Amino acid sequence: MKIYLNGDLVAKEDAKISVFDHGLLYGDGVFEGIRLYSGCIFKLEEHLERLEFSAKAILLDLPLDREQLRKAVCDTCRANNLENGYVRLVVTRGPGHLGLTPDGCGPGNVIIIADDIQLYPEELYEKGLKIISVPTRRINASALPPAIKSLNYLNNILAKIEAKKVGFQEALMLNDKGEIAECTGDNVFMISKGVLFTPPLDAGSLRGITRGAVIDLAAELNLPCREQALTRYDLWTAEECFLTGTAAEVIPCVEVDHRKIGDGAPGSTTRRLIELFRKSVLTDGVNLSE
Ligand code: PXG
């Protein structure tokens, strides 16, 4: 496996960075998780734009411009002969002193890993996922804007651990008002009375690329979509529920907090959206052969 590290493609064993990197010491940095489907990098421009916005928000100067980032991602996929998989693009604050200030840090390390992806088993897409809300609340948007995809995921990791400890694969995270924010690495959607709902970004959700893709697909289906504050009650009494994320794609959710959603099987609209999503990933991105 070849890893992109600051302009070079190096063997995995040689991909090393300083222990003084503030990415390691403080989670100070940004990243993207991107999918590659049949040689097509899904929504690459959207991911690169989000990376640029995350970097800007934390006052991190990206060492590469858009064109250089695009080329680096494509070159890494090609160097690994990857047709389908997962690309992790990471930019750290860079090596500095033992202290919070980023002054004197840098240059930031640019790391790109292109690998296979560990997917949920196909069976879960047929039967649906069961999730549970957890005590750990999503960090308040005024403390850390949820739109920043930073290297600091402890909040989500704690929620994931809490769900796993009680036998669930995914956690539903609430914000400090008790509204639905998102899952640990996925956005949440529900359908009620013919309308698609998802929490607004200020409820504590990441502006998910898959979330955006699903909102566009809903428009194609003439399915009205509203971004509005949702409670657990709204979700418990919904007809359908599903999660969206780069890793999970669109996955039906059939139980929330031990309450069956609808009749406990993936809903027909969810299934239709999954079908459309799976078609769109083959065309909606940057093709490696171009
Ligand atoms: N919320 C959070 C907190 C996320 O980290 C999403 C929502 C979904 O966003 P996208 O843009 O992917 O539709 C994410 C994305 C992983 C992994 O390794 C996690 C994400 C993406 C890729 C891989 O668990 N999170």
> In the chain, where are the structural domains located?
2-115, 122-280
Taking CA atoms only, the protein residue closest to ligand 1 atom 2 is 185
Q: Which of 227, 240, 244 is nearest to 267 (CA)?
A: 240
Ligand 1, residue 183: give the atom nearest the CA.
1
Query: Which residues does 285 contact at the CB level (< 8 Å), separation at least 6?
Result: 37, 40, 41, 42, 43, 44
CATH of domain 122-280: 3.20.10.10
Domains 2-115 and 122-280 share a fold: no
Report whether the peptide linkage leading into residue 107 is cis, meaning its omega lies within 30 degrees of zero: yes
> Residue 93, SS3?
coil
**Nearest-CA residue for atom 5 of ligand 1:** 185
Of all atoms in ligand 1, which is nearest to the CA of residue 211?
13
Ligand 1: residue of 206, 209, 250 to mutate (most ligand atoms within 8 A of CB) is 206
Q: How close is the Cα of 2 to the center of ligand 1, in Å?
A: 23
Contact assessment for residue 23 and residue 266, using Cβ atoms and an 8 Å cutoff: no
At residue 97, the pLDDT reads 96
Would you name the residues annotated as active-site residues? 149
pLDDT of residue 127: 97
Nearest residue (by CA) to ligand 1, atom 14, is: 185
CA atoms within 13 A on the CB side of 143: 9
CA of 245 to the centre of ligand 1 (A): 5
Architecture of 2-115 per CATH?
Answer: 2-Layer Sandwich (3.30)
- Distance (angstroms) between ligand 1 centre and the Cα of 185 equals 4
pLDDT in tens, the chain (290 residues): 999 999 999 999 999 999 999 999 999 999 999 999 999 999 999 999 999 999 999 999 999 999 999 999 999 999 999 999 999 999 999 999 999 999 999 999 999 999 998 778 999 999 999 999 999 999 999 999 999 999 999 999 999 999 999 999 999 999 999 999 999 999 999 999 999 999 999 999 999 999 999 999 999 999 999 999 999 999 999 999 999 999 999 999 999 999 999 999 999 999 999 999 999 999 888 899 87
Instruction: Find the 207 Cα to ligand 1 centroid distance in Å.
Output: 10
Q: Whose CA is nearest to atom 7 of ligand 1?
A: 186
If one residue of 174, 187, 198, 216 were mutated to test the ligand 1 pocket, choosing by the most ligand atoms within 8 A of its CB, it would be 187
Q: Under 8 Å CB-to-CB from 80, ≥6 apart: which residues?
A: 1, 2, 114, 115
- Measure 34 CA to ligand 1 centroid, in angstroms: 9
Is-contact 95 18, C-beta < 8 A? yes
Please give the number of the atom of ligand 1 that sits closest to the Cα of 212. 13
Pull the structure tokens for residue 152. Answer: 């600091």
Q: Which of 201, 254, 193 minimizes the C-alpha distance to 223?
A: 193
- pTM, entire model: 0.96
Give me ligand 1 centre to Cα 97, in Å.
30
Instruction: Name all residues whose Cβ lies below 6 A of ligand 1.
Output: 33, 156, 182, 185-187, 206, 208-211, 244-247
Cα–chain center distance at 61: 22
Ligand 1 atom closest to residue 182's alpha carbon, by position in its atom list: 1
Q: Please tell me the predicted confidence (pLDDT) of residue 240.
A: 98
Tokens 């389908």 map to which residue?
Answer: 84
